[in-house]
């Protein structure tokens, strides 16, 4: 994605968040792969939305990309597993 396109995506994300269109903003984040919203990710984890957290995370990185991605993926899988059995 070109620098101009990234700037445009960022402006659109800013607008969507300011207008309270959070789901639309998060969908654009996932689809563009440009902006990772750590607060949103943390909220999903703390609320026990493991599958959504894993889906959000996987749209930005693949397990084989690096060691941290591998660790995060395993952690999300474990939390998802235990979250479904509590």
**In the chain, what are the domain boundaries?**
1-32, 36-86
Predicted confidence band at 85 (pLDDT cuts at 50, 70, 90)? very low
Q: In the chain, pLDDT over 90 holds for what percent of residues?
A: 21
Place of tokens 């994605």: 1
Interval 19-41 mean pLDDT: 88
Predicted confidence band at 82 (pLDDT cuts at 50, 70, 90)? low
Task: Check if the beta carbon of residue 75 is closer than 8 Å to that of residue 63.
Answer: no
The angle formed by the CA atoms of residues 51, 68 and 80, to the nearest 5 degrees, is: 20
Query: What is the average pLDDT score of the chain?
Result: 80
Q: Map residue 72 onto helix, strand or coil.
A: helix
Whether the predicted pLDDT of 21 surpasses 90: yes
């Amino acid at each position: 994605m070109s620098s101009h396109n990234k700037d445009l995506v960022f402006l659109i994300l800013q607008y969507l968040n300011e207008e309270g269109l959070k789901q639309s903003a998060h969908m654009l984040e996932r689809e563009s792969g440009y902006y990772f919203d750590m607060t949103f990710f943390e909220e999903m984890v703390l609320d026990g939305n493991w599958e959504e957290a894993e889906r959000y995370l996987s749209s930005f990185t693949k397990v084989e990309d690096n060691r941290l991605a591998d660790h995060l993926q395993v952690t999300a899988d474990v939390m998802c597993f235990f979250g479904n059995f509590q």
